[in-house]
Amino acid sequence: ETELSNAVASLQVKQRQCESATKQLTEKKRALEKELARRHNVIAEKRQVLGVQAAKNPPELAFFENLMGISITGGQKDILTFVFTYISLPEPSRPFTISIDLSQREYSVPKCTPEIADLQAHVDWLNASRDFFGFLKRIRSGFVDHYLNSTI
């Protein structure tokens, strides 16, 4: 009988251990489900923000293209090409283009048509300042200077 009592006691200890492990795993599962739900909410919020921004992009791009005379294309991987127009008075649709390689931390310009003076100085300034809009203003000014100097 003592053998049977010891076996029952041992099984009861194992049962309590299993119940404790089950309780811990259930609590861990709840915590993981809560964290997963939180992450899903964060992702949903980010998607909503991106959706709002995506709705704003076409009108903003149209503004830049029509009023500012600049369009942006991404024909190659990690390269953006900016096409400036409204620089040449007799030919307002004449394109002045610059392609910018974004594949590295340091930007580079594989193509600029027509070539503008001090292009590398502008690229160095961009890499130092990280002011992309300011860089585009400088490039547009460089294209205007090139046009004015070529028509004199």
Asked if residue 152 has pLDDT above 70, the reply is no
Give residue-wise pLDDT tens across range 25-82: 999 999 999 999 999 999 999 999 988 888 888 887 787 777 778 888 887 889 999 9
Alpha helices in the chain (DSSP H): 2-63, 119-129, 132-150
pLDDT for the residue 11: 92
CA–CA distance, 41 with 126 (Å, rounded to integer): 37
More confident residue, 141 or 89: 141
Give the three-class secondary structure for 130: coil
Residues linked to residue 79 through DSSP beta bridges, in sequence order: 76, 101
Its pTM stands at 0.61
